[in-house]
Amino acid sequence: MGRNNLYGVLALAAFILVFPLVRRFDSFSHYLDIMVFVGLTGMVTMGLSLLMGYAGQISLGHAAFYGLGGYTTGIMTAKFGLSPWLALPAGMLISTAVAVAVGVPSLKLRGHYLAMATLGFGEIVFIVFNEWTALTSGPDGFGNIPRLSLWGYAFDTALANYYLVWGVAILMLIFVLNVVNSRVGRALRSIHGSELGAMAMGVNAAKYKVQVFVISAVMAAIAGSLYAHFVQFVNPPVFSLFFSIKLVMMVVIGGMTSVWGALLGAALLTFLPEWLVFLQDFDILAYGLILLLITMFLDKGLIGLPEVLYRRLVRAAGREG
Amino acid sequence: MTERRNILEVTGLQMVFGGLVALMDLDFAVPQGVIKAVIGPNGAGKTTIFNIITGVFPPTSGQIVFKGRKITGLKPYQITPLGVSRTFQTVELFGHMTVLENVMVGRHVRSRRGIISAGLRLPVMRREERAIREQAWACLDLVGLADKAETEAGNLPLGEQKALEIARALAAEPELLLLDEPAAGLNETETAGTAALFQRLRDQGLTILLVEHDMRLVMDVSEEVLVLNYGRKIADGRPEEIRSDPEVVKAYLGEDIEYA
């Protein structure tokens, strides 16, 4: 995965480890909760950045995969009393099946058919969550989802969930970085460089696009399962089209061609509303303005900021000297 | 000339693009281990032949047989592993990847680890990755680009981009190499170097099918020349036969044929 990425992962792991020890500010427990959500959302955006930045496809239905994971876990554990360790793979399996069914036909075509297909799929899932009341309890959602436990250890505090979620998120980060820096990652990047050239080298573009889509869906499903165990409650609005769009936005804002950007985007868009609370009614205005500025001036997203600043600095130094 | 097995046999090939006939009832064969050139004026259908052989699009009718196996209608990712590789008239490199990475993509069909073992970085996958890297280096050495390995491919001058395309094509271990105007845009020294490379590759047993406008290069390196005009074959034979063929002279070569 390359030396820089390795250092990056180590730095992130160190930060995650140390962050809870610095509990000197007031709303610490609130921040810890938000960090859990950043981790959960980051799992989804990392997969999505693989799909958008490397396979060149957009999904407008990833909230639905997140929801499939969440609801599968919720229904199997809270309603049927089954083990969470059965529910988690079940959610992954369902997401795989759905992703293959949606992805195979739409990724055989060139162009943004996947965006259309996932948009429709997301809406269908959302309707099912709302209407299949016998199973999903409808618009009210349902609670009593048990905490996750492993070998007798129950993840029943926010801190335990924080470490659990970020542990999984870092494993996913390593996985995605490995994919990017492999034969498969090169094949995906080559399609971006020259579709004809990639074709001539025997790269089966459609196959890899489907694989990446399925993997991103499974990552979202895992995040959804962990969400259900953490919040212990699921209801449809969390998994709506609005969240799908927000996920895409996180990837774009963070920097589409970097997995790190996807994490950064997830963090920024999750924290930003908290930081803007002091503006009261104007928060949404500032929120929009910040996103607008990032998309206007940082074509590589937030992850490209150091590079842009560096170039500015060099140019300024050049003018003076 | 001794009778050799044909590595490629094309029969009755026809290609029609929406009413425009690009290739008309074309038959030809490429014997194993030779350099064969395809020449003809622009629009004669030369690149179209390459696109059909490599599966970019299927022909309107006709049949392509490679090593005794019918490959008509197969996809590029099915044809390349059989041992057909190509370069492009308009360079089709992966501009934002390094020179080495470009050639590593050339190893794609000779490696097989999938997305899961890549993500988990399994030992088998690490071994394969090492092999890909070593073989890519060897291909770069062959075309003399090893010292540019970490350069972004898009930043190379045209001559080196053409050489890189050949290295990338060779990385796929082809038995038949299709070269689309490899000398276009090259200076005389570079062209001479290219010619020497082709002969070296041929001597190692590779078969080369070459589309080229540089007549000197064509006549110097090829054992056989196929001449097309408006999608039809007008001659197919040894260079000296082609040179004296009245129809070829009339249709294509004109009076300047006596250059050599």
Q: Could you tell me the two tokens for B166?
A: 């050949």
User: Would you say residue A112 has pLDDT above 70?
Assistant: yes
Kindly state whether B125 is in contact with chain A, defined as any CB-CB distance less than 8 angstroms: yes
pLDDT (average), residues A148-157: 86
Torsion angles phi and psi, residue B27, rounded to 5:
-120, 130
Least confident of A60-74, A97-111, A155-169: A97-111
Rounded to whole angstroms, how far apart are CA atoms B163 and B93?
11
What is the DSSP-derived secondary structure letter of residue A52?
Answer: I
Q: Which two tokens stand for residue B259?
A: 């250059």
CB contact B114 to A (< 8 Å) = yes
A151: alpha, beta or left, given left = phi > 0 and alpha = psi -120 to 50? left
Interface of B with A in 56-75 (CB under 8 A): 56, 75
Inform me whether the pLDDT recorded for A53 exceeds 70. yes
Choose the weakest-confidence range: A35-39, A85-89, A250-254, B252-256. Answer: B252-256
pLDDT recorded at residue B109: 93
Taking residues A154-169, what's their average pLDDT?
92
Judge: B115–A197 Cβ closer than 8 Å, yes or no: no
Rounded Cα gap, residues B53 and B32, in angstroms: 16
Return mean pLDDT, chain A.
91
Planar angle of CA B183, B22, B181, nearest 5 degrees: 5
pLDDT in the model for residue B1: 47
Q: How far apart are the first and last CA of chain A?
A: 39
Q: One digit per residue, pLDDT tens: chain B, 260 residues?
A: 456 789 999 999 999 998 888 999 999 999 999 999 999 887 778 899 999 999 999 999 999 999 999 999 899 999 999 999 999 999 999 999 999 999 999 999 999 888 998 899 888 889 999 999 999 999 999 999 999 999 999 999 998 999 999 999 999 999 999 999 999 888 888 899 899 999 999 999 999 999 998 888 999 999 999 999 888 898 899 998 888 888 888 776 554 544 43
Place of tokens 């799929």: A121
- Smallest Cα distance from A202 to chain B, Å: 4
DSSP letter string, A83-111: -HHHHHHHHHHHHHHHHHHHHHHHHHSSS
C-alpha torsion angle, residues A245, A246, A252, A256 (rounded to 10): -80
For residue A248, pLDDT over 80 is answered with yes
Does A290 score more than 80 pLDDT? yes
Residue A76 in this model has a pLDDT that exceeds 50: yes
- What's the CA gap between A172 and A13, in Å, rounded? 13
Res. A320: pLDDT tops 90: no
pLDDT at A321: 58
**Separation of alpha carbons A245 and A61, rounded Å:** 8
Q: Compute CA B259 distance to the chain's CA centroid, rounded to the nearest angstrom.
A: 26
Produce one character per residue of B152-185: b if its CB has 16 or more CB atoms within 10 Å, e if not: bbeebeebbbbbbbbbbbbbbbbbbbbbbbbbbe
* Contact indicator for A224, A68 with CB cutoff of 8 Å: yes
Pairing of strands B6-17, B20-31: antiparallel
Integer Cα distance of A95 and B89 in angstroms: 44
Q: Would the pLDDT of A71 be above 80?
A: yes
DSSP state of B227: E
CA A7 to chain centre: 22
Residue of B156, B215, B209 whose CA lies nearest to B183? B215
Pairing relationship of beta strands B61-66 and B69-70 according to DSSP bridges: antiparallel
CA angle (B137, B142, B144) in 5-degree steps: 90
Residue A114: phi and psi, rounded to 5, are -65, -40
What pTM, to 2 d.p., does this model score?
Answer: 0.87
The alpha helices in A50-83, defined as continuous H runs, are 62-74
Whole-angstrom distance, CA of residue A141 vs CA of residue A135: 10
Question: Which residues in chain A touch residue B113, judged by CB atoms under 8 angstroms apart?
Answer: 182-184
**With an 8 Å Cβ cutoff, are B125 and A199 in contact?**
no
Task: Give B203: exposed, middle or buried? Use CB within 10 Å, 0-12, 13-18, 19+.
Answer: exposed
What is the Cα–Cα distance from B12 to A32, expressed in whole angstroms?
72
CB-based contact B172:B108 (threshold 8 Å): yes
Which among A74, A15, A44 is positioned nearest to A266, based on CA atoms? A44
Region A21-34: what's the mean pLDDT?
79
Q: Does the complex come out with an ipTM higher than 0.90?
A: no
Scanning B87-203, the segments in alpha helix (DSSP H) are: 99-106, 115-120, 123-143, 158-171, 188-203
Give the mean model confidence (pLDDT) for residues A297-307.
Answer: 85
Q: Is B218 exposed, middle or buried (0-12, 13-18, 19+ CB in 10 A)?
A: buried
Interface test with A, best of B102, B108, B130, B161 (most A CBs within 10 A): B108
Angle, alpha carbons B140-B144-B146 (nearest 5°): 50
Compute the average pLDDT of residues A224-244. 95
- State the pLDDT at residue A39: 97
**Do A182 and B113 lie within an 8 Å CB cutoff?**
yes
Q: Chain B interface, mutation test: which of A92, A170, A178, A201, most B Cβ atoms within 10 Å?
A: A201
A291 vs A99, which has greater pLDDT?
A99
Q: How far is CA A297 from CA A41, A224, B14, in A?
A: 25, 33, 52
Give Cα separations from B56 to A197, A307, B80, B83, B106 (angstroms): 11, 39, 11, 16, 17
Report the first-to-last Cα separation within chain B, whole angstroms: 23
Taking the C-alpha atoms of residue A209 and residue A188, their distance in angstroms, rounded to an integer, is 8
Q: What is the DSSP letter of B249?
A: I
pLDDT confidence tier of residue A304, bands split at 50, 70 and 90 = confident
Q: Nearest CA to B143 among B166, B159, B161, B173?
A: B166
Instruction: Please report the residues numbered 170 through 229 in chain A whose beta carbons come closer than 8 angstroms to any beta carbon of chain B.
Output: 175-176, 178-179, 182-187, 189-190, 192-194, 196-204, 207-208, 211-212, 215
Cα–Cα distance, A45 to A37 (Å, whole number): 12
- Domains of chain A, by residue range, sit at 3-275
Its CATH architecture, for the domain A3-275, is: Orthogonal Bundle (1.10)
Residue whose C-alpha is closest to residue B115's, from A127, A204, A222, A275: A204
Q: Which of A173, A190, A218 to mutate to test the interface with B (most CBs of B within 10 A)?
A: A190
d(CA B76, CA B37): 22
For the segment A263-272, the average pLDDT, to the nearest whole number, is: 93
Sorting pLDDT into bands at 50, 70 and 90, what band is A300? confident
